[in-house]
């Protein structure tokens, strides 16, 4: 599976690209754009050979997201990760035939040097945190593809893999390291930079690969890394392969994994065309975003900068679903649940990274709950179809993005809304939900209802492995059974409240005040403490590698990212590469 063997999909000419816009447009203080496509990639080459894909890292040093650093040695910034995320999504949807993906490097002697250190040193605290979160989500996506899409990722480390480079390898299911007498894998963050291997590294070492904690300690404090027999014995890698046999072994292993996949080799993929978005009058001056209304085909977002609110209105489907999986394939990206996942994903990423002061997301819906229930039924009935499976997994991942967004989530269930099944998940995870009990004076809309579907009972687990309903009703498990019996029923406020689905059900008289106070109050609190509160309250119940990465590893890393020993003017992140050594404050806390 050497790069030159496959057909190059969307081979970007990085030098040309750098001159024509993608890169330059991304430079500077403007918003971060998440939309890309293989023909615009600066950093990755995607090649397909039968049922095996190769995703080769070949970072263009100058094509950085912001100015002030160079992406040497296949080091990366958020821009590199945005392309990686795009490639992973396309492999799932556009390439049903691919059963295994080989990650490797196109640079000689280096696989990947990890997150760019100068970029980290120059970044604001919130950029570092957002960057790590997105990177973690992308890596979880690699694992989700392996486990649930049966598109298995393996890593062919054909050069040094340091820090985030090795963490990327950890996200794959099989790690092969070239034995060329020099290449190692390493997590040198602690000795070199005084921070953690924070994009999943520590957790994946001891929880996924079950490396003994004392060995992990040695490995993580040894900047030169590890190779050969000891690396295999310690389960740091799966195979150490002599240089002369490396390419052949990678091909063979990739074929083995690919041949075990149940993905259909003759199905037609769905091309991920760009997601439409309209920033209204501000679209032209997107570089200095002030857009107070953002419109996707099914989602409109109104931004209230005074109260720091992004008010989502999600429009349900306007037509009945197709009859079956073949109909879903026919609609492709226009199939409503698929379109919803893509637009919600795009909106979340934009708001997270480009609208940091907008601390509260309010969710409203409008539409026909019965239609939504029909779409959910189709997702369940056709769950065996590869594309329906992918769409459902994408909705799952997107809902998880909502869960780990550091924003207060408030759902408002009003007459005319359609919080049914898939969309009801937003209510279940919200920090607060309000459902109007009865009608609004002067409106002829019937009272609001919500509706459970089978999709609320399994297909969308949270990071903790439980459904949102299970997490919510940890203390009242008998209500889960009661809720399941209502599948398809329209539940009015009292019924929904009785089942534990809603926080408050004010009537017409109290509605405006209660909602207004909840939103204004949120804006008056310290965002830091809200972030901590929400991160602790949302994930009751069991823990998984994912909740550990987001709840524990990230919290420690965020703490360290603020400590003078790492981020201060004399901290290790700032001084790296200058030849100066940090003088650490030795106090343990």
CB of 334 to a second copy, least distance (A): 33
Q: Does 210 bind a second copy (CB under 8 A)?
A: yes
Of positions 356, 465, 498, 506, contacts a second copy by CB under 8 A: 356
Q: What is the nearest approach in angstroms of a second copy to the Cβ of residue 226?
A: 14
Q: Which stretch binds a second copy (CB under 8 A): 115-123, 140-148, 451-459, 472-480?
A: 472-480
What is the closest distance, in whole angstroms, from the C-beta atom of residue 139 to a second copy in the complex?
16
Instruction: Tell me the chain's radius of gyration from C-alpha atoms.
Output: 24
What DSSP element (H or E) covers 522? Answer: helix 508-524
Minimum distance from CB of 61 to a second copy (Å)?
28
Q: Which is nearer to a second copy, 296 or 550 (CB)?
A: 550
Residues in the chain: 589
Q: Which of residues 302-341 bind a second copy (CB under 8 A)?
A: 308
Contact status: 362 vs a second copy (CB under 8 A): no
Q: Is 577 in the site for a second copy (CB under 8 A)?
A: no
Task: Please report which residue ranges of 355-477 form alpha helices under DSSP H.
Answer: 369-381, 386-403, 424-429, 468-472
Q: Is residue 139 within the footprint of a second copy (CB under 8 A)?
A: no
Between residues 389 and 472, which has the closer beta carbon with respect to a second copy?
472
Question: How far is Cα 55 from Cα 64, in angstroms, rounded to an integer?
Answer: 20
Residue closer to a second copy by CB (options 13, 585) is 585
Binding to a second copy by residue 556, rule CB under 8 A? yes
Q: How far is the CB of 572 from a second copy (least distance, A)?
A: 6
466, 404, 148, 374 alpha-carbon torsion, rounded to 10°: 70
Structure tokens at 153: 């990722």
Interaction between residue 433 and a second copy (CB under 8 A): yes
Task: Please give the residues from 4 up to 43 whose contact with a second copy meets the rule CB under 8 A.
Answer: none
Is residue 587 at the binding interface for a second copy, with CB under 8 A as the rule?
yes
Identified binder of a second copy from the candidate list 92, 263, 548, 574, rule CB under 8 A: 548
**With respect to a second copy, which residue has the nearer C-beta, 6 or 308?**
308
- Quick one: DSSP state of residue 583? -
Alpha helices in 67-115 (DSSP H): 78-94
Pick the piece of the chain touching a second copy (CB under 8 A) from 38-46, 81-89, 121-129, 225-233: 121-129
Beta bridge partners of 435: 413
**195 lies in the site for a second copy, by CB under 8 A:** yes
Does 530 contact a second copy by CB under 8 A? yes
Task: Report d(CA 513, CA 431) in Å as an integer.
Answer: 18
CA angle 190, 141, 236 (to 5 degrees): 40
Under the binding rule (CB under 8 A), the answer on residue 229 touching a second copy is: no
Q: Which long-range contacts (CB under 8 A, 24 or more apart) does 258-262 make?
A: 258/50, 258/51, 258/52, 258/98, 258/99, 258/100, 258/152, 259/51, 259/99, 260/99, 260/150, 260/152, 261/51, 261/99, 261/100, 261/150, 261/151, 261/152, 262/150
Q: Which of residues 247-286 bind a second copy (CB under 8 A)?
A: none
# residues near a second copy by CB under 8 A: 93
Tokens of 497: 């409240």
**In sequence order, which residues have a C-beta less than 8 Å from that of residue 233 and are 6 or more positions away?**
none
585 contacts a second copy (rule: CB under 8 A)? yes
- Backbone φ and ψ for 363, nearest 5 degrees, come out as -105, 125
Q: Among 535, 546, 574, 575, which residue interacts with a second copy (rule: CB under 8 A)?
A: 535
């Amino acid at each position: 599976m050497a790069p030159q063997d496959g057909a190059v999909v969307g081979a970007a000419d990085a030098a040309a690209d750098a001159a024509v816009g993608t890169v330059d447009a991304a430079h500077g203080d403007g918003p971060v754009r998440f939309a890309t496509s293989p023909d615009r990639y600066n950093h990755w080459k995607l090649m397909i050979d039968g049922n095996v894909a190769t995703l080769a890292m070949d970072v263009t040093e100058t094509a950085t997201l912001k100015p002030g650093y160079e992406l040497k040695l296949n080091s990366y910034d958020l821009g590199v990760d945005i392309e990686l995320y795009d490639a992973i999504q396309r492999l799932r949807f556009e390439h049903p035939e691919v059963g295994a993906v080989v990650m490797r490097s196109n640079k000689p002697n280096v696989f990947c040097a990890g997150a760019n250190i100068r970029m980290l040193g120059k970044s604001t605290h919130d950029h570092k945190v957002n960057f790590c979160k997105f990177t973690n989500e992308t890596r979880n996506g690699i694992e989700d593809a392996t486990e649930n899409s049966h598109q298995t990722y393996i890593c062919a480390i054909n050069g040094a893999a340091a820090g985030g480079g090795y963490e990327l390898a950890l996200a794959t299911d099989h790690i092969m390291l070239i034995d060329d007498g020099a290449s190692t894998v390493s997590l040198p963050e602690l000795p070199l930079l005084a921070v953690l291997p924070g994009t999943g590294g520590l957790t994946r070492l001891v929880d996924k690969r079950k490396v003994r904690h004392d060995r992990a300690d040695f490995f993580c404090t040894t900047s030169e890394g590890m190779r050969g027999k000891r690396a295999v014995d310690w389960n740091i890698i799966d195979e150490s392969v002599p240089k002369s046999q490396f390419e052949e072994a990678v091909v063979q292993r990739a074929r083995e994994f690919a041949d075990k996949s149940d993905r259909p080799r003759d199905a037609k993929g769905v091309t991920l065309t760009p997601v439409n978005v309209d920033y209204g009058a501000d679209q032209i001056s997107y570089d200095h975003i002030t857009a107070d209304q953002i419109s996707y085909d099914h989602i409109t977002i109104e931004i209230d900068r005074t109260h720091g609110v992004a008010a989502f209105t999600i429009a349900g489907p306007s037509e009945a679903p197709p009859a079956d999986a073949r109909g879903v394939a026919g609609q492709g990206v226009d199939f409503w649940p698929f379109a919803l996942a893509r637009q919600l994903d795009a909106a979340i990423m934009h708001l997270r990274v480009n609208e940091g002061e907008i601390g509260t997301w309010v969710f409203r819906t409008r539409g026909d709950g019965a239609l939504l229930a029909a779409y959910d039924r189709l997702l369940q009935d056709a769950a065996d179809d590869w594309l329906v499976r992918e769409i459902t997994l994408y909705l799952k991942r997107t809902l998880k993005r909502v869960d780990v967004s550091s924003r207060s989530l408030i759902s408002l269930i009003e007459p005319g809304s359609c919080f049914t099944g898939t969309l009801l998940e937003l209510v279940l995870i919200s920090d607060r939900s309000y459902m109007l009990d009865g009608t609004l004076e002067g409106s002829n809309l019937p009272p609001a209802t919500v509706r459970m579907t089978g999709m609320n009972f399994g297909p969308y687990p949270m990071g903790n492995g439980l459904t949102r309903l299970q997490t919510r009703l940890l203390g009242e498990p008998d209500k889960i059974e009661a809720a399941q019996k209502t599948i398809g029923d329209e539940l009015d406020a009292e019924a929904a409240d009785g089942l534990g689905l809603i926080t408050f059900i004010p009537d017409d008289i109290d509605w405006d005040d209660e909602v207004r106070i909840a939103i204004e109050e949120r804006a008056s609190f310290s965002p830091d403490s809200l972030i901590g509160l929400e991160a602790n309250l949302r994930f009751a119940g069991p823990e998984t590698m994912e909740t550990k990465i987001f709840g524990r590893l990230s919290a420690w890393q965020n703490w360290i990212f603020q400590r003078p020993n790492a981020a201060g003017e004399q901290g290790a992140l700032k001084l790296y590469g200058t030849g100066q050594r940090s003088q650490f404050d030795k106090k343990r806390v």
